[in-house]
């Protein structure tokens, strides 16, 4: 198995406090990996580092066979301004950014493809709707339609099912499985352990550093989960120095 | 006569004509800037930025007297500096960006008033604070027209990435593009427009023709293009009506123009087609039933 993403001693800090540190490991091509851990464990930060949207990352992240454009990143819903006056079809068409860029016009074929993507996520006929009229679940479906158009080899999802109804979750999870069946690499931040055990073969348990990384059944053992919780309780947010590096 | 009331002042007096032309140019470029200031939730920051031009313009005034190039250059440098400094303060400390803008603007305003008082009279100070659209000369017309040309071309060039950066920051970064670049380009254009507007409306009301029409337009349109299309004519009408009110009533021109724009804002707030008071009242009985 070759690696789609290879991390070597990756540390990301905000205001000199490390959010995640000394992360090393490989995410295999075509794997379906969940990132789990307590609140504040740095799950989203790790995903942002993989996506290349945090400016300062120490260590190295290699993407052996993917240019930055071949990575699709779905941020948390809260990172997007859902009151912005833009139509659903325009959001979905952003999936063609790599081809259309700043000036390219969307062809009828592009629009038809966007409409088919909306159809696939259960939003048939939503093209002209302003996004402010969508529910959280409908909006997440629209963002998945954009991911379909992006057609990326590596797909990074940050809490895609947070505050989303059960039916939408099931529909979108089916899409994630389809991407896995297409041999795309998917990394997904999740909270629901049952969901992870049921659908994700691999898992990374994070508590600012890696607690466990491997097949889901081993990673989410009760011993590992206890250890992650103990580490979370011991966090001192004012600590300036990196203890692991000092010791 | 309607002709005497609405048209004649501009036919008979060159200063009224120049004022109108300056306002048309300001309205065209300002309304595109204003729409994005609102969408980026930067209305207050934009206002603070406009006040921050004052010390720069004041230094220009100290060095070159009431000369437009000196004051404009000073104002532009001050505006850019404050925009960058506030961004940096917000990034490197835990102070929120709006708070750092408020601090910067109070400092700038006080410093500006102090600097003007060193050499100027209170008339000069009033001129800087409230502008004098009726004193627009050829040099200021060129400045305003040049600003409009640059703004419209540049906004067309960065329009799509700017929209994406507004509503989904990080999307462009994940594609390997530098989204923040467009944000700074936009800030630069905003400062440029404030410099152009400050000659006409003064540092205190420079954003009147930029923000108020855009806010009014947000009650009528639900996409960015239409917001701009509604905002520009509102700005044009406000300028025209404001100049007429000022001429016939013998009132100061800057406040008349800004108050006309305010009237459009209040009208839109009450009767607009989206999120207006009228829509809220119309929906109430349905909810009760």
Split into its structural domains, chain B has a count of: 1
pLDDT (0 to 100) of residue A247: 35
Let me know if A128 is exposed, middle or buried by CB neighbors in 10 A (0-12, 13-18, 19+): exposed
pLDDT (0 to 100) of residue B26: 92
Whether A86 sits inside 8 A of B223 (CB atoms) is yes
Instruction: Please answer whether residues B216 and B43 qualify as being in contact, where contact means their C-beta atoms are separated by less than 8 angstroms.
Output: no
Residues forming a β-bridge with B218: none
Using pLDDT thresholds of 50, 70 and 90, give the confidence band for residue B43: confident
Q: Out of A71, A80, A85, whose CB is closest to B168?
A: A80
Q: For residue B281, what is the domain's CATH number?
A: 1.10.3470.10
State pTM to two decimals: 0.85
Whether A73 sits inside 8 A of B170 (CB atoms) is yes
Instruction: Please answer whether residues B257 and B238 qualify as being in contact, where contact means their C-beta atoms are separated by less than 8 angstroms.
Output: yes
Residues forming a β-bridge with A210: A206
What integer is the mean pLDDT of B80-107? 75
Instruction: Considering only CA atoms, give the Rg of chain B.
Output: 20
Each residue of A185-244: pLDDT tens digit? Answer: 999 999 999 999 999 999 999 998 899 999 999 999 999 999 998 888 887 665 554 554
Whether B39 sits inside 8 A of A79 (CB atoms) is no
pLDDT(B288) > 80:
no
Each residue of B234-243: pLDDT tens digit? Answer: 999 999 999 9
pLDDT (0 to 100) of residue B92: 66
Interface of B with A (CB under 8 A): 39, 94, 157-158, 160-161, 163-164, 166-176, 218, 221-224, 227
Percent of chain B with pLDDT over 70: 95
Which among A51, A63, A75, A97 is the top mutation candidate for probing chain B, defined by the most B β-carbons within 10 Å of its own β-carbon?
Answer: A97
List of long-range contacts for A236-241, beta carbons under 8 Å, 24+ apart: A237/A17, A239/A17, A240/A16, A240/A17
* A49 touching B (Cβ < 8 Å): no
Range of the domain at B226: 2-288
pLDDT (0 to 100) of residue A180: 95
Whether A52 sits inside 8 A of B174 (CB atoms) is yes
Which among B37, B94, B167 is the top mutation candidate for probing chain A, defined by the most A β-carbons within 10 Å of its own β-carbon?
Answer: B167
pLDDT (0 to 100) of residue A178: 95
Whether B176 sits inside 8 A of A72 (CB atoms) is no
Kindly report the average pLDDT of chain A as a whole number.
Answer: 88
Using pLDDT thresholds of 50, 70 and 90, give the confidence band for residue B284: low
pLDDT (0 to 100) of residue A101: 85
What integer is the mean pLDDT of B84-112? 76
Which residue does chain A place closest to B179, by CA atoms? A53
Whether A85 sits inside 8 A of B221 (CB atoms) is yes
CA distance B183 to chain A (A): 15
Range in A30-34, A196-200, B57-61, B282-286 with the lowest mean pLDDT: B282-286
pLDDT (0 to 100) of residue B289: 43
* A94 touching B (Cβ < 8 Å): yes
Each residue of B130-189: pLDDT tens digit? Answer: 887 877 888 889 999 999 999 999 999 999 999 998 888 888 888 878 877 888 899 899
Using pLDDT thresholds of 50, 70 and 90, give the confidence band for residue B210: very high
Which residue does chain A place closest to B221, by CA atoms? A85
Report chain A residues whose CB lies below 8 A from the CB of B94.
Answer: 15
Q: Out of A53, A75, A84, whose CB is closest to B166?
A: A84
pLDDT (0 to 100) of residue B204: 82
| β-strands A32-36, A71-74 pairing | unpaired
Which residue does chain A place closest to B158, by CA atoms? A102
pLDDT(B98) > 80:
no
pLDDT(A107) > 60:
yes
Rounded Cα distance between B257 and B209, Å, is 8
List of residues 6+ apart from A148 with CB closer than 8 A: A95, A117, A120, A121, A175
ipTM of the complex: 0.83
Whether B176 sits inside 8 A of A69 (CB atoms) is yes
Range in A41-45, B65-69, B148-152 with the lowest mean pLDDT: B65-69
pLDDT (0 to 100) of residue B77: 92
Instruction: Please answer whether residues A7 and A23 qualify as being in contact, where contact means their C-beta atoms are separated by less than 8 angstroms.
Output: yes
Whether B163 sits inside 8 A of A86 (CB atoms) is yes
Instruction: Please answer whether residues A111 and A95 qualify as being in contact, where contact means their C-beta atoms are separated by less than 8 angstroms.
Output: no
Report chain A residues whose CB lies below 8 A from the CB of B168.
Answer: 75, 79-81, 94
Let me know if B49 is exposed, middle or buried by CB neighbors in 10 A (0-12, 13-18, 19+): buried
pLDDT (0 to 100) of residue B94: 64
Helices (H), chain B: 2-6, 8-12, 14-39, 43-51, 53-64, 68-92, 97-119, 122-130, 138-167, 171-174, 179-205, 208-217, 224-249, 253-271, 277-288
Report chain A residues whose CB lies below 8 A from the CB of B183.
Answer: none
Q: Out of A48, A97, A132, whose CB is closest to B175?
A: A97
Rounded Cα distance between A72 and B246, Å, is 56
Using pLDDT thresholds of 50, 70 and 90, give the confidence band for residue A246: very low
Using pLDDT thresholds of 50, 70 and 90, give the confidence band for residue B190: very high
CA distance B174 to chain A (A): 5
């Amino acid at each position: 198995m070759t690696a789609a993403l290879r991390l070597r001693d990756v540390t990301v800090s905000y205001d000199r406090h490390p959010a995640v540190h000394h992360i090393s490991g490989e995410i295999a091509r075509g794997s379906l990996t969940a990132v789990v851990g307590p609140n504040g464990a740095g799950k989203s930060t790790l995903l942002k580092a993989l996506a290349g949207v945090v400016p300062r990352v120490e260590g190295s992240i290699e993407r052996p066979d993917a240019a930055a454009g071949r990575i699709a990143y779905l941020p948390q819903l809260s990172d997007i301004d859902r009151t912005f006056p833009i139509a659903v079809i325009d959001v979905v068409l952003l999936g063609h950014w790599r081809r259309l860029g700043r000036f390219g016009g969307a062809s009828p074929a592009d629009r038809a493809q966007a409409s088919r993507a909306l159809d696939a996520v259960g939003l048939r006929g939503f093209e002209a709707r302003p996004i402010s009229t969508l529910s959280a679940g409908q909006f997440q479906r629209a963002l998945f339609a954009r991911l379909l158009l992006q057609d990326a080899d590596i797909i990074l999802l940050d809490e895609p099912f947070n505050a989303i109804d059960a039916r939408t979750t099931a529909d979108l999870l089916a899409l994630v499985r389809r991407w896995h069946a297409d041999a795309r690499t998917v990394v997904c931040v999740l909270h629901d352990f049952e969901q992870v055990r049921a659908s994700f073969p691999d898992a990374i348990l994070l508590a600012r550093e890696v607690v466990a990384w491997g097949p889901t059944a081993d990673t989410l053992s009760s011993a590992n989960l206890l250890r992650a919780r103990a580490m979370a309780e011991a966090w001192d947010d004012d600590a300036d120095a990196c203890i692991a590096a000092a010791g | 006569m309607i002709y005497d009331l609405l048209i004649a002042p501009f036919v008979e007096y060159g200063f009224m004509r120049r004022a109108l032309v300056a306002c048309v140019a300001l309205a065209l470029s300002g309304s595109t800037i204003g729409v994005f200031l609102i969408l980026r939730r930067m209305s207050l920051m934009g206002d603070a930025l406009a006040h921050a031009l004052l010390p720069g313009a004041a230094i220009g005034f100290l060095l070159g007297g009431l000369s437009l190039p000196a004051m404009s250059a000073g104002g532009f440098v001050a505006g850019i500096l404050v925009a960058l400094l506030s961004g940096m303060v917000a990034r490197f400390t835990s102070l929120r960006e709006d708070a750092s803008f408020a601090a910067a603007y109070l400092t700038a305003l006080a410093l500006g008033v102090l600097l003007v008082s060193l050499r100027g009279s209170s008339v000069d100070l009033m001129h800087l604070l409230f502008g004098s659209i009726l004193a627009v000369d050829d040099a200021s017309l060129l400045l305003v027209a040049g600003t409009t040309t640059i703004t419209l071309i540049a906004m067309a060039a960065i329009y799509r990435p700017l929209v994406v950066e507004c509503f989904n920051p990080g999307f462009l970064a994940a594609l390997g593009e530098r989204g923040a670049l467009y944000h700074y380009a936009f800030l630069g254009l905003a400062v440029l427009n404030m410099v152009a507007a400050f000659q006409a409306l003064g540092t205190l009301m420079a954003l009147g023709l930029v923000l108020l029409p855009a806010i009014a337009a947000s009650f009528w349109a639900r996409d960015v293009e239409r917001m701009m299309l509604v905002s520009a004519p509102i700005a044009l009408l406000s300028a025209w009506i404001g100049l007429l009110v000022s001429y016939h009533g013998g009132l100061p021109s800057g406040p008349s123009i800004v108050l006309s724009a305010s009237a459009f804002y209040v009208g839109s707030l009450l009767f607009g087609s989206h999120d207006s008071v009228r829509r809220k009242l119309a929906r109430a009985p349905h909810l009760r039933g």
